């Protein structure tokens, strides 16, 4: 007997239980027609991942329970179909001073209108962007059920990164492991994930099916790319990344062994690092704007590399007709900046406008002349220009209903090379987790590739090759204030992302002055980052939920 299996790699919306249930029902019905008798959905598929403190609201759990009943009822007539659905279960005690969790991260198996088995997640991650111990209590026992003569052992995400849950399922009679997942993306995670699951297969001797979520949820991206490994650890099926998919495979019983196979077309290749990163950023923009109901996007186009990259991402994400680029020249804006901005806007076909800020800048100078009498010009005047631009963009946003996309990169966020209420003003920070050196690499990659058919070579070459400048004072260059970006980014990566110490960096040959300056700036500018808009996480440590440093502290690493 052969068991046909479908992995429902779907993009859910947190809190839209009715819409999420409808997606599961429609996918299950379609899979059933194709012959599937087991459908696997991702972790917490009914409510979406991660619902954060919504899990603490009893009415939210009740709505999840109602959606589970709806799925069971609507699929009840499909004889022999087993659908595995992720959802929260249970409650807890919460007062003003105490919280006791009795809630589980559960996978339930639905068949012919009934819950025939369930499994509660055992390993609850509480690192990086995860807070599962705040909301759930660890499960006990195993979840093994039978479909068409094949015994399936359930695991949920983190469980499969440890040996014991898989071994317990095997010892309880499982012949194949089915893992429901909502595993946040960062660069290189897909290959790491497959390797860890290969280790699990080699440890247990069982094939493994990895059902993954796709979509953007605030700062977090889920890339999908669900896959299946046979009992030798060979990848036999892999879905495309960053989009919904139905991944089909089959298991045939050969004695007590479950042989997992798939059609050759079910094995999609892994992309290049640049292509993967581009897809993540595009999906992050598309889902944040789409799921939150924004009509379009507005951004300040400066003629520099950062805003150019954000414009190209936005057009790939939502289309040129929904993107508005605004050039706001000042007395310090070079001619090539507005020339290149016009060129890029024309290449991509977006709406483009110019609003000169010189009159507004002079108005501020005049209003503050008495207060500033006898004081030299400094960064105050630079920041006024940035704040004028931020105010103009936010006014356009308020009037049109489009969101302002900020254009600052991770190197700037780390060192505070940005203006609070100026270029930081906006609703979504697209490249907040992309170092400047990676910005250049992505710009070059996008000029050589047109993955979404919106136009080849969108970024004028001069934008990529000219020295970066904020253009807030005469002849300004970024390196007037910062180390060379190759040095700066290496220090940020090792110190901020990997927690390496100052002494180790200096011992490896970095100049003491550079290391001390950069680490001091990272510490000094925590107050700015706390007020920055949410942005897309693409590294294993971003300035978001997985960076929780006190603003007031005197520790130096």
DSSP assignment, residue 496?
Answer: I
Burial class for 254, CB neighbours closer than 10 Å (0-12, 13-18, 19+) = exposed
Residues 6+ apart with CB under 8 A from 105: 43, 44, 86, 88, 120, 121, 124, 132, 135, 136, 139, 156
* Active-site annotation holder among 6, 23, 43, 410: 43
Task: Record the tokens describing residue 374, joined without a space.
Answer: 């006898």
Active site (annotated) includes residue 79 = no
Count, residues in the chain: 557
d(CA 12, CA 14): 6
* Structure tokens, 141: 């026992």
Beta bridge partners, 217, equal 220
Of 6, 47, 64, 157, the active-site residue reads 157
Compute CA distances 399 → 107, 311, 392, whole Å: 45, 21, 11
Classify 371 as helix, strand or coil: coil
Q: 3-class SS at 157?
A: helix
Tokens 């860890």: give the residue.
196
Q: What backbone phi and psi angles, to 5 degrees, belong to 296?
A: 180, -165
* Residue 228, SS3 per DSSP: strand
State the Cα–Cα distance between residues 333 and 124, nearest whole angstrom. Answer: 52
Q: Cα–Cα distance between 13 and 18 in angstroms, integer?
A: 10
Nearest CA to 49 out of 243, 214, 197 is that of 214
Catalytic residue among 6, 27, 64, 121: 121
| Residue carrying the six token digits 């977090």 | 220
Tell me the C-alpha distance between 44 and 61, whole Å.
Answer: 12
Task: Give, rounded to a whole angstrom, the gap between the first and last alpha carbons of the chain.
Answer: 62
Q: Which of 368, 390, 395 is nearest to 380 (CA)?
A: 368
Query: In the 8-state DSSP scheme, what is residue 495?
Result: I
Q: Does 500 participate in catalysis according to the annotation? A: no
CA–CA separation, 91 and 25 (whole Å): 26
- For 276-317, the three-class secondary structure string (H helix, E strand, C coil) is HHHHHHHHHHHHHHHHCCCCCEEEECCCCHHHHHHHHHHHHH
Cβ count near 345 (within 10 Å): 22
Is 27 annotated in the active site? no
H helical segments located in 417-511: 436-448, 461-465, 485-492, 502-507
Active-site amino acid positions: 43, 121, 157
């Amino acid at each position: 007997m052969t068991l046909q299996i479908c992995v429902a790699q779907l993009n859910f919306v947190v809190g839209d239980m009715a819409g999420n249930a409808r997606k599961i029902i429609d996918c299950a019905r379609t899979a059933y027609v194709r012959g599937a008798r087991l459908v696997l959905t991702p972790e917490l598929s009914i409510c979406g991942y991660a619902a954060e403190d919504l899990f603490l609201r009893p009415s939210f759990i009740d709505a999840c329970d109602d959606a589970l009943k709806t799925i069971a009822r609507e699929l009840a007539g499909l004889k022999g179909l087993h659908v595995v659905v992720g959802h929260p279960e249970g409650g807890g005690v919460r007062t003003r001073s105490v919280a006791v969790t009795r809630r589980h991260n559960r996978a339930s198996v639905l068949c012919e209108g009934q819950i025939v088995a369930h499994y509660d997640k055992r390993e609850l991650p509480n690192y990086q962007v995860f807070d599962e111990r705040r909301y759930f209590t660890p499960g006990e026992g195993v979840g093994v059920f039978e479909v068409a003569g094949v015994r399936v052992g359930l695991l949920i995400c983190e469980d499969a990164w440890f040996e014991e849950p898989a071994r317990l399922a095997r010892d309880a009679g499982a012949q194949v492991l089915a893992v429901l997942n909502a595993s946040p993306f960062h660069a290189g995670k897909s290959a790491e994930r497959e390797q860890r699951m290969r280790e699990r297969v080699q440890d247990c001797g069982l094939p493994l099916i990895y059902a993954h979520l796709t979509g953007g949820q605030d700062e977090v991206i889920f890339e999908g790319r669900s896959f299946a490994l046979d009992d030798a650890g060979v990848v036999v099926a892999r879905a495309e990344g960053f989009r919904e998919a139905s991944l089909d495979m089959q298991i045939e019983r050969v004695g007590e062994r479950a042989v997992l196979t798939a059609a050759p077309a079910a094995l999609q290749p892994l992309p290049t690092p640049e292509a993967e990163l581009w897809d993540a950023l595009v999906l992050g923009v598309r889902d944040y704007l789409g799921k939150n109901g924004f009509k379009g996007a507005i951004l300040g186009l400066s003629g520099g590399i950062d805003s150019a990259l954000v414009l190209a991402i936005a057009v790939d994400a939502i289309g040129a007709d929904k993107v508005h680029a605004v050039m706001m020249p000042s007395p310090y804006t070079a001619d090539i900046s507005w020339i290149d901005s016009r060129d890029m806007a024309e290449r991509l076909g977006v709406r483009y406008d110019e609003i000169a800020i010189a009159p507004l800048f002079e108005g501020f100078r005049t209003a503050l002349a008495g207060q500033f009498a006898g004081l030299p010009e400094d960064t105050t005047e630079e920041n006024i220009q940035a704040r004028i631009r931020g105010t103009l963009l936010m006014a356009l946003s308020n009037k049109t209903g489009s969101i302002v996309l900020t254009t600052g990169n991770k190197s700037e966020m780390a060192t505070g090379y940005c203006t609070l209420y100026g270029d930081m003003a906006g609703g979504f920070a697209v490249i907040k987790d992309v170092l400047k050196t990676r910005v250049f690499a992505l710009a070059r990659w996008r000029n050589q590739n047109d993955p979404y058919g919106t136009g080849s070579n969108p970024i004028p070459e001069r934008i990529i090759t000219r020295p970066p400048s904020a253009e807030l004072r005469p002849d300004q260059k970024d390196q007037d204030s910062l180390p060379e970006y190759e040095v700066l980014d290496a220090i940020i990566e090792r110190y901020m992302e990997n927690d390496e110490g100052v002494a180790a960096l200096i011992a490896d040959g970095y100049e003491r002055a550079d290391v001390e300056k950069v680490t001091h700036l990272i510490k000094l500018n925590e107050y700015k980052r706390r007020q920055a808009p949410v942005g897309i996480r693409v590294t294993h440590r971003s300035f978001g939920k997985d960076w929780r440093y006190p603003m007031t502290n005197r520790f130096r690493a």
